[in-house]
Structure 1
Protein backbone atom coordinates (compact mmCIF):
# COMPACT_ATOMS: atom_id res chain seq x y z
CA UNK A 1 0.00 0.00 0.00
CA UNK A 2 1.18 3.51 -0.84
CA UNK A 3 1.10 6.02 2.03
CA UNK A 4 0.54 9.65 1.05
CA UNK A 5 1.45 12.53 3.38
CA UNK A 6 -1.33 15.10 3.15
CA UNK A 7 -0.70 18.74 2.20
CA UNK A 8 3.06 19.13 1.72
CA UNK A 9 2.79 22.47 -0.03
CA UNK A 10 6.10 24.07 0.85
CA UNK A 11 9.60 23.03 -0.14
CA UNK A 12 10.45 22.69 3.56
CA UNK A 13 7.49 20.33 4.13
CA UNK A 14 8.49 18.30 1.10
CA UNK A 15 12.10 18.04 2.29
CA UNK A 16 10.81 16.87 5.68
CA UNK A 17 8.84 14.02 4.09
CA UNK A 18 10.52 10.62 3.75
CA UNK A 19 10.81 9.74 0.02
CA UNK A 20 9.27 6.32 0.75
CA UNK A 21 5.95 8.18 1.10
CA UNK A 22 3.94 9.95 -1.54
CA UNK A 23 2.69 13.50 -1.07
CA UNK A 24 -0.51 15.44 -1.72
CA UNK A 25 -0.38 19.09 -2.76
CA UNK A 26 -2.86 21.84 -3.63
CA UNK A 27 -2.56 23.79 -6.87
CA UNK A 28 -3.91 27.14 -8.07
CA UNK A 29 -3.19 29.18 -11.17
CA UNK A 30 -1.64 32.64 -11.07
CA UNK A 31 -1.27 34.14 -14.52
CA UNK A 32 0.89 31.75 -16.52
CA UNK A 33 2.13 30.01 -13.38
CA UNK A 34 0.85 27.26 -11.09
CA UNK A 35 1.24 27.95 -7.38
CA UNK A 36 1.41 25.28 -4.71
CA UNK A 37 -1.08 26.59 -2.16
CA UNK A 38 -4.31 25.48 -0.52
CA UNK A 39 -5.77 28.90 0.18
CA UNK A 40 -7.09 31.35 -2.45
CA UNK A 41 -5.71 34.86 -2.98
CA UNK A 42 -2.18 33.76 -2.00
CA UNK A 43 0.41 35.02 -4.49
CA UNK A 44 3.67 34.36 -2.63
CA UNK A 45 3.42 30.59 -2.66
CA UNK A 46 6.10 28.43 -4.27
CA UNK A 47 5.91 27.89 -8.02
CA UNK A 48 5.14 24.30 -8.97
CA UNK A 49 8.33 23.98 -11.03
CA UNK A 50 10.44 25.07 -8.05
CA UNK A 51 8.63 22.59 -5.82
CA UNK A 52 9.14 19.81 -8.37
CA UNK A 53 12.90 20.41 -8.39
CA UNK A 54 12.93 18.96 -4.85
CA UNK A 55 10.46 16.13 -5.47
CA UNK A 56 11.93 12.61 -5.09
CA UNK A 57 8.95 10.81 -3.65
CA UNK A 58 6.88 7.73 -4.36
CA UNK A 59 3.64 9.19 -5.69
CA UNK A 60 2.05 12.60 -6.21
CA UNK A 61 -1.58 13.58 -5.70
CA UNK A 62 -2.24 16.91 -7.41
CA UNK A 63 -5.33 18.47 -5.83
CA UNK A 64 -6.41 21.12 -8.31
CA UNK A 65 -8.36 23.98 -6.79
CA UNK A 66 -9.11 25.51 -10.20
CA UNK A 67 -9.87 23.60 -13.36
CA UNK A 68 -8.19 24.48 -16.62
CA UNK A 69 -4.57 24.21 -15.53
CA UNK A 70 -4.27 20.55 -16.55
CA UNK A 71 -2.24 21.03 -19.78
CA UNK A 72 0.32 23.19 -17.97
CA UNK A 73 0.33 20.78 -15.00
CA UNK A 74 0.89 17.63 -17.04
CA UNK A 75 3.60 19.34 -19.10
CA UNK A 76 5.48 20.29 -15.93
CA UNK A 77 5.10 16.80 -14.47
CA UNK A 78 6.51 15.31 -17.67
CA UNK A 79 9.36 17.84 -17.70
CA UNK A 80 10.39 16.81 -14.18
CA UNK A 81 9.93 13.08 -14.76
CA UNK A 82 6.87 12.58 -12.56
CA UNK A 83 4.85 9.69 -13.98
CA UNK A 84 3.24 8.24 -10.84
CA UNK A 85 0.47 10.70 -10.03
CA UNK A 86 -3.22 11.41 -10.16
CA UNK A 87 -5.23 14.62 -10.36
CA UNK A 88 -7.88 15.12 -7.69
CA UNK A 89 -11.05 17.19 -7.33
CA UNK A 90 -11.84 17.52 -11.01
CA UNK A 91 -15.47 17.73 -12.13
CA UNK A 92 -16.84 14.89 -14.23
CA UNK A 93 -16.87 16.95 -17.48
CA UNK A 94 -13.17 17.74 -17.11
CA UNK A 95 -12.30 14.14 -16.21
CA UNK A 96 -14.20 12.95 -19.27
CA UNK A 97 -12.52 15.50 -21.54
CA UNK A 98 -8.97 14.58 -20.59
CA UNK A 99 -9.60 10.85 -20.23
CA UNK A 100 -10.93 10.79 -23.79
CA UNK A 101 -7.71 12.52 -24.85
CA UNK A 102 -5.78 9.63 -23.30
CA UNK A 103 -4.92 10.85 -19.80
CA UNK A 104 -6.00 8.23 -17.20
CA UNK A 105 -4.42 9.90 -14.17
CA UNK A 106 -7.55 11.02 -12.34
CA UNK A 107 -9.41 10.05 -9.19
CA UNK A 108 -13.20 9.97 -8.97
CA UNK A 109 -14.67 10.81 -5.58
CA UNK A 110 -16.97 8.45 -3.69
CA UNK A 111 -18.35 8.83 -0.17
CA UNK A 112 -21.56 8.47 1.78
CA UNK A 113 -22.79 11.44 -0.30
CA UNK A 114 -21.14 10.62 -3.67
CA UNK A 115 -22.34 7.36 -5.18
CA UNK A 116 -20.22 4.51 -6.44
CA UNK A 117 -22.77 4.11 -9.23
CA UNK A 118 -21.55 7.35 -10.80
CA UNK A 119 -17.94 6.15 -10.67
CA UNK A 120 -18.91 2.82 -12.22
CA UNK A 121 -20.89 4.53 -15.00
CA UNK A 122 -17.88 6.71 -15.81
CA UNK A 123 -15.64 3.65 -16.02
CA UNK A 124 -18.13 1.83 -18.24
CA UNK A 125 -18.51 4.82 -20.56
CA UNK A 126 -14.75 5.25 -20.92
CA UNK A 127 -14.26 1.53 -21.46
CA UNK A 128 -16.61 1.81 -24.43
CA UNK A 129 -14.30 4.49 -25.82
CA UNK A 130 -11.21 2.35 -25.14
CA UNK A 131 -10.19 4.74 -22.38
CA UNK A 132 -9.96 4.56 -18.59
CA UNK A 133 -9.17 6.39 -15.39
CA UNK A 134 -7.17 4.83 -12.62
CA UNK A 135 -8.26 5.83 -9.16
CA UNK A 136 -11.07 6.21 -6.64
CA UNK A 137 -10.77 8.82 -3.86
CA UNK A 138 -12.78 7.10 -1.12
CA UNK A 139 -13.76 9.78 1.36
CA UNK A 140 -15.73 9.18 4.55
CA UNK A 141 -17.65 11.65 6.66
CA UNK A 142 -18.44 8.97 9.25
CA UNK A 143 -14.88 7.76 9.68
CA UNK A 144 -15.76 4.27 8.42
CA UNK A 145 -14.27 2.35 5.46
CA UNK A 146 -16.08 1.56 2.24
CA UNK A 147 -18.43 -1.40 2.49
CA UNK A 148 -16.65 -4.46 1.03
CA UNK A 149 -19.33 -4.96 -1.64
CA UNK A 150 -18.89 -1.36 -2.83
CA UNK A 151 -15.12 -1.63 -2.85
CA UNK A 152 -15.29 -4.90 -4.81
CA UNK A 153 -17.62 -3.34 -7.40
CA UNK A 154 -15.21 -0.45 -7.87
CA UNK A 155 -12.26 -2.80 -8.30
CA UNK A 156 -14.21 -4.86 -10.83
CA UNK A 157 -14.79 -1.63 -12.75
CA UNK A 158 -11.01 -1.25 -13.03
CA UNK A 159 -10.24 1.21 -10.26
CA UNK A 160 -7.58 1.26 -7.59
CA UNK A 161 -8.71 2.75 -4.28
CA UNK A 162 -7.14 5.60 -2.32
CA UNK A 163 -8.82 6.12 1.04
CA UNK A 164 -9.01 9.33 3.05
CA UNK A 165 -7.78 8.72 6.58
CA UNK A 166 -10.45 10.15 8.92
CA UNK A 167 -8.25 12.71 10.66
CA UNK A 168 -8.27 14.80 7.47
CA UNK A 169 -11.77 15.94 8.44
CA UNK A 170 -10.50 17.14 11.83
CA UNK A 171 -7.50 19.26 10.87
CA UNK A 172 -8.12 21.64 13.79
CA UNK A 173 -7.88 18.81 16.32
CA UNK A 174 -4.39 17.34 15.86
CA UNK A 175 -4.52 15.66 19.28
CA UNK A 176 -7.15 13.29 17.86
CA UNK A 177 -5.31 12.34 14.66
CA UNK A 178 -3.69 9.12 15.80
CA UNK A 179 -6.74 7.76 17.61
CA UNK A 180 -8.97 8.38 14.60
CA UNK A 181 -6.50 6.77 12.21
CA UNK A 182 -6.00 3.76 14.47
CA UNK A 183 -9.75 3.14 14.71
CA UNK A 184 -9.94 3.13 10.93
CA UNK A 185 -6.98 0.76 10.66
CA UNK A 186 -8.57 -1.65 13.13
CA UNK A 187 -11.83 -1.56 11.15
CA UNK A 188 -9.94 -2.54 7.99
CA UNK A 189 -8.40 -5.52 9.79
CA UNK A 190 -11.80 -7.02 10.66
CA UNK A 191 -12.74 -10.32 8.97
CA UNK A 192 -14.68 -9.77 5.77
CA UNK A 193 -13.06 -6.42 5.04
CA UNK A 194 -10.56 -7.74 2.52
CA UNK A 195 -12.09 -5.92 -0.46
CA UNK A 196 -12.15 -2.64 1.49
CA UNK A 197 -8.42 -2.69 2.14
CA UNK A 198 -6.93 0.12 0.07
CA UNK A 199 -4.16 0.47 -2.47
CA UNK A 200 -3.31 3.90 -1.05
CA UNK A 201 -4.10 6.11 1.93
CA UNK A 202 -3.85 9.89 2.26
CA UNK A 203 -3.10 10.81 5.86
CA UNK A 204 -1.66 13.30 8.32
CA UNK A 205 -0.02 10.32 10.08
CA UNK A 206 2.15 8.51 7.52
CA UNK A 207 4.43 6.88 10.08
CA UNK A 208 1.46 5.52 12.01
CA UNK A 209 -0.07 3.99 8.89
CA UNK A 210 3.31 2.67 7.79
CA UNK A 211 3.94 0.92 11.10
CA UNK A 212 0.41 -0.27 12.00
CA UNK A 213 -1.10 -1.32 8.68
CA UNK A 214 0.73 -4.25 7.12
CA UNK A 215 -2.05 -6.31 5.56
Structure 2
Protein backbone atom coordinates (compact mmCIF):
# COMPACT_ATOMS: atom_id res chain seq x y z
CA UNK A 1 0.00 0.00 0.00
CA UNK A 2 1.19 3.51 -0.81
CA UNK A 3 0.11 6.51 1.21
CA UNK A 4 0.02 9.85 -0.57
CA UNK A 5 0.02 13.26 1.06
CA UNK A 6 -3.02 15.08 -0.35
CA UNK A 7 -1.71 18.37 -1.80
CA UNK A 8 1.50 17.81 0.15
CA UNK A 9 2.10 17.65 3.88
CA UNK A 10 0.59 20.93 4.99
CA UNK A 11 0.01 22.44 8.40
CA UNK A 12 -2.46 25.15 7.39
CA UNK A 13 -4.97 25.26 4.54
CA UNK A 14 -2.94 28.00 2.87
CA UNK A 15 0.03 25.60 2.54
CA UNK A 16 -1.88 23.12 0.34
CA UNK A 17 -0.24 22.60 -3.07
CA UNK A 18 2.84 24.63 -2.13
CA UNK A 19 6.47 23.70 -2.66
CA UNK A 20 6.99 23.79 1.11
CA UNK A 21 4.21 21.21 1.63
CA UNK A 22 5.67 19.02 -1.14
CA UNK A 23 9.19 19.19 0.30
CA UNK A 24 7.88 18.28 3.75
CA UNK A 25 6.04 15.25 2.34
CA UNK A 26 9.01 14.09 0.25
CA UNK A 27 11.39 14.52 3.18
CA UNK A 28 9.06 12.35 5.30
CA UNK A 29 9.07 9.65 2.59
CA UNK A 30 5.57 10.26 1.23
CA UNK A 31 4.51 10.68 -2.36
CA UNK A 32 1.92 13.33 -3.11
CA UNK A 33 -1.31 14.02 -4.92
CA UNK A 34 -1.40 17.45 -6.54
CA UNK A 35 -3.48 19.43 -9.01
CA UNK A 36 -2.27 20.97 -12.26
CA UNK A 37 -3.66 23.56 -14.67
CA UNK A 38 -2.37 25.81 -17.39
CA UNK A 39 -1.74 29.50 -16.80
CA UNK A 40 -0.28 31.85 -19.40
CA UNK A 41 1.55 29.09 -21.23
CA UNK A 42 2.84 27.36 -18.07
CA UNK A 43 1.73 24.20 -16.28
CA UNK A 44 1.16 25.27 -12.70
CA UNK A 45 0.16 23.62 -9.42
CA UNK A 46 -3.35 24.82 -8.62
CA UNK A 47 -6.62 23.24 -7.51
CA UNK A 48 -8.67 26.37 -8.28
CA UNK A 49 -8.53 28.61 -11.35
CA UNK A 50 -5.02 30.12 -11.35
CA UNK A 51 -4.21 33.72 -10.55
CA UNK A 52 -0.63 33.64 -11.88
CA UNK A 53 1.11 33.29 -8.51
CA UNK A 54 1.11 29.49 -8.44
CA UNK A 55 4.32 27.45 -8.51
CA UNK A 56 5.34 25.87 -11.79
CA UNK A 57 4.76 22.12 -11.84
CA UNK A 58 8.36 21.72 -12.95
CA UNK A 59 9.50 23.03 -9.54
CA UNK A 60 7.59 20.16 -7.92
CA UNK A 61 9.41 17.71 -10.17
CA UNK A 62 12.73 19.26 -9.17
CA UNK A 63 11.92 18.61 -5.49
CA UNK A 64 11.05 15.00 -6.33
CA UNK A 65 14.23 14.37 -8.35
CA UNK A 66 16.09 11.26 -7.20
CA UNK A 67 13.38 10.11 -4.79
CA UNK A 68 11.48 6.92 -5.63
CA UNK A 69 8.13 8.32 -4.46
CA UNK A 70 4.72 8.23 -6.20
CA UNK A 71 3.19 11.31 -7.77
CA UNK A 72 -0.56 11.40 -8.47
CA UNK A 73 -1.36 14.29 -10.82
CA UNK A 74 -4.98 15.48 -10.79
CA UNK A 75 -5.65 17.08 -14.17
CA UNK A 76 -7.80 20.20 -13.75
CA UNK A 77 -7.58 21.51 -17.34
CA UNK A 78 -7.61 19.86 -20.76
CA UNK A 79 -4.71 20.04 -23.20
CA UNK A 80 -1.79 19.34 -20.87
CA UNK A 81 -0.96 15.77 -21.95
CA UNK A 82 2.07 16.39 -24.16
CA UNK A 83 3.69 19.06 -22.00
CA UNK A 84 3.07 17.23 -18.75
CA UNK A 85 4.32 13.91 -20.04
CA UNK A 86 7.42 15.56 -21.47
CA UNK A 87 8.20 17.22 -18.14
CA UNK A 88 7.76 14.00 -16.16
CA UNK A 89 9.98 12.07 -18.54
CA UNK A 90 12.65 14.80 -18.71
CA UNK A 91 12.80 14.96 -14.91
CA UNK A 92 12.73 11.16 -14.67
CA UNK A 93 9.76 11.07 -12.29
CA UNK A 94 9.92 7.44 -11.15
CA UNK A 95 6.29 6.60 -10.33
CA UNK A 96 3.68 9.01 -11.65
CA UNK A 97 0.20 8.90 -13.10
CA UNK A 98 -2.52 11.30 -14.19
CA UNK A 99 -6.16 11.01 -13.18
CA UNK A 100 -9.51 12.77 -12.87
CA UNK A 101 -9.37 14.51 -16.24
CA UNK A 102 -12.31 14.95 -18.62
CA UNK A 103 -13.15 11.93 -20.80
CA UNK A 104 -11.88 13.59 -24.03
CA UNK A 105 -8.65 14.61 -22.29
CA UNK A 106 -8.21 11.07 -20.95
CA UNK A 107 -7.94 9.96 -24.57
CA UNK A 108 -5.20 12.55 -25.15
CA UNK A 109 -3.33 11.43 -22.02
CA UNK A 110 -3.42 7.81 -23.20
CA UNK A 111 -2.30 8.78 -26.72
CA UNK A 112 0.62 10.74 -25.21
CA UNK A 113 1.72 7.57 -23.40
CA UNK A 114 1.10 9.02 -19.94
CA UNK A 115 0.31 6.53 -17.16
CA UNK A 116 -3.42 7.17 -16.76
CA UNK A 117 -5.86 6.07 -14.08
CA UNK A 118 -9.53 5.76 -15.03
CA UNK A 119 -12.08 7.21 -12.61
CA UNK A 120 -14.77 4.93 -11.21
CA UNK A 121 -17.48 6.43 -9.03
CA UNK A 122 -21.11 5.98 -8.10
CA UNK A 123 -21.82 8.09 -11.22
CA UNK A 124 -19.33 6.31 -13.52
CA UNK A 125 -19.65 2.59 -12.89
CA UNK A 126 -17.88 1.67 -16.14
CA UNK A 127 -14.74 3.77 -16.65
CA UNK A 128 -13.81 4.71 -20.22
CA UNK A 129 -10.78 3.01 -21.80
CA UNK A 130 -10.44 0.70 -18.82
CA UNK A 131 -8.37 -1.78 -20.84
CA UNK A 132 -5.79 0.92 -21.64
CA UNK A 133 -5.68 2.49 -18.17
CA UNK A 134 -2.72 1.92 -15.84
CA UNK A 135 -5.05 1.75 -12.84
CA UNK A 136 -8.36 2.85 -11.38
CA UNK A 137 -9.02 5.87 -9.20
CA UNK A 138 -11.99 5.15 -6.95
CA UNK A 139 -13.90 8.36 -6.32
CA UNK A 140 -17.06 9.27 -4.48
CA UNK A 141 -19.17 12.37 -4.94
CA UNK A 142 -21.97 11.85 -2.43
CA UNK A 143 -21.06 8.84 -0.30
CA UNK A 144 -18.75 5.91 0.15
CA UNK A 145 -20.29 3.61 -2.45
CA UNK A 146 -17.65 0.93 -2.90
CA UNK A 147 -16.57 -1.97 -0.77
CA UNK A 148 -14.26 -4.98 -0.83
CA UNK A 149 -16.21 -6.55 -3.73
CA UNK A 150 -15.64 -3.47 -5.91
CA UNK A 151 -11.95 -3.38 -5.09
CA UNK A 152 -11.59 -7.10 -5.88
User: Shorter-chain-normalised TM-score: which range?
Assistant: 0.7 to 0.9
Instruction: State the shift of 1:41 in Å.
Output: 3.4
User: In structure 1, how many angstroms separate the alpha carbons of the residues matched to 2:135 and 2:29?
Assistant: 20
Post-superposition CA distance 1:11-59 (Å, at most 9, x none): 1101111452210111111122111111213211111112221113510
1:43 counterpart = 2:44: no
Aligned length: 140
* Cα distance, 1:65–1:78 mapped onto 2, change above 3 Å: same
* Cα distance, 1:68–1:104 mapped onto 2, change above 3 Å: closer
Structure 1 segments of 4 or more deviating over 6 A?
none
TM-score by length of 2: 0.80
2:13 corresponds to: none
**Structure with more helix by fraction:** 1
Q: Gaps spanning 5+ residues in structure 1: where?
A: 127-131, 153-215
* Cα distance, 1:76–1:16 mapped onto 2, change above 3 Å: same
TM-score by length of 1: 0.59
Post-superposition CA distance 1:159-206 (Å, at most 9, x none): xxxxxxxxxxxxxxxxxxxxxxxxxxxxxxxxxxxxxxxxxxxxxxxx
1:54 counterpart = 2:55: no
1:66 corresponds to: 77
User: In structure 2, how many angstroms separate the alpha carbons of the residues matched to 1:40 and 1:102?
Assistant: 24
Compute the RMSD of aligned alpha carbons. Answer: 2.0
User: In structure 2, how many angstroms separate the alpha carbons of the residues matched to 1:150 and 1:33?
Assistant: 38
Q: Gaps spanning 5+ residues in structure 2: where?
A: 9-16
Q: Which residue of the other structure, out of 122, 127, 131, is the alignment partner of 2:129?
A: 122
Where does 1:95-134 land on structure 2 (aligned, <5 Å)? Answer: 95-99=106-110, 101=111, 103=113, 105-115=115-125, 118-119=126-127, 122-123=129-130, 126=131, 132-134=132-134
Larger radius of gyration: 1
